[in-house]
Structures are given as structure tokens and as C-alpha cells.
Amino acid sequence: MPTSPRSDPRPVIGITAGELVATYGVWTEEASLTPAAYVHSIANAGGVPVVLSPVAGIAEALADRIDGLLLTGGVDVDPALSGAEHHPKTQEPDPVRDDFEIALLHAALARELPVLAICRGIQVLNVVRGGTLIQHLPDVVGNHDHMPIRGAYGPHHVRIDPDSQIGTLIGSSEASVPTHHHQAVDRVGDGLVAAAWADDGTVEALEDPAQAFLVAVQWHPEVGDDPSLFEGLVAATQRAGVLGRA
């Protein structure tokens, strides 16, 4: 039976989640988790947020049902995916989530869906494109400015290419951004270009000029006060003409 177009014109944005042991009420059990700030940021930007749990074998089906993709922060990407040895400071990898997000990203890009990648997301994107990662940033830059407080976000300055898509969205060549990460982009992956940098030279944003909307940032806009990247993602789905699918 053919499907009818959706009656709600708002785009459906898939938001990736991790599976972690969580405690709530009287329960301690494995749960699908993503910070609520991502969900509310998409909703406030005019999208319909849908949380995507890392389940094997469903990436293609999910990509057929969403209009855009948000890759979120989370556990460190497995260094083996870029041919690196495990650094002592690298977290234990989550191969299920790695495999799921890599498959989902491939499926989304094959369908030319707009993609916004945040923190872990920029690292997943860079690895998928053949790039490499700095596994423990303080070893390279000699400071802890990117993760100044354990369990909290701290601000730092970034310089933004004003001619980049990210620069156009943010509308400024510099910004103070919320940050919490100890890994970062090292060698930039194929087809990607750097669009923002921290004062210590760390790459803070990537984009693909050949794609209508494939942008990634190392910082956490969902906990900041600038909604422009989320608004850009939602607007890109509307320009892409992917609405009206079931």
C-alpha cells in the first residue's frame, strides 16, 4: 500500500544515542541515552526530534525515515578504526555505537540528507572520511583548556572562517564556545575542510563544500546560547526537498 505524505511539515531529525547503564528511580539498568539539550535544540529550531538507539542492521531503514541527522557527543571513537594504537587516556570503545553511527552516516550521505555532527560526531565523520584523531589533546597542545572541568562545560575562544558555511550560519569570525573534549581532529579526512580553530591550533569545525549541508563542530552548541547551527540543519532539510515522505 502506498504511503501518504506526512501532515506535519516539520522535518524529522534523527539524534544518535548511546546505550549506557543508568540509574533512575529504583532502577539501574541499560538505557538508551542522549542529553535532553540536543532534543530541545532541534525542537526549538523547528524540527521533530527522534532519538536513534544503536541497533545493528537498521541504519538504512532509519535513513529512509528521517529528513536530517544529528551525530551527538559521547564515548571516544575506537582508535583502531583509523589504524591507531589505543592511548592510555582513551576510553574503552563502544563498537556497537561506532558501527551503528558509521553505517547511519553512510546511509544519510548516500541519500543527501543534511548532517550536523557535534563533538564525538565530528570525530566519527573525520574517521569515516579517512582522517585521523588526536587521542589525548593535552599531549599535543600542552593545556587542558578543552576540558577544563571534569563533568562540566567550559568556554574557550574559536576563530571561524567567515567564508565557510559555518561562518555564514554563525555570522561571526570568532566566538566563545562551550567545550568538553580530550580528543580532536588530527589529519583532516577526504573532502573535508577545516572551518574553525582554537587559539592553540586545534581544529574545531569541519565541513564538506561539495555537500549541501555537512557541517561538524568540536564544541557543544546545544548547551550554548546560539541556536544557529540547529536552525541551519532544519532549514537545510527544507531546502533539500526531502519533506513529505512517510
Which residues are marked as active site?
A: 119, 220, 222
Element (H, E) at 193: strand 193-198
DSSP-assigned letters across all residues of 102-118: HHHHHHHHHTT--EEEE
How far apart are the C-alpha atoms of 152 and 173, rounded to whole Å? 26
How far apart are the C-alpha atoms of 26 and 112, rounded to whole Å? 43
Max Cα-Cα span within the chain: 60
Alpha-helical regions (H) of 142-182:
165-170
Strands (DSSP E) found in 10-132: 12-16, 18-24, 27-33, 48-52, 68-71, 115-118
Element (H, E) at 234: helix 228-240
Residue the block writes with cell 593545556: 143
Task: Point out which residues pair with 118 in neighbouring strands.
Answer: 217
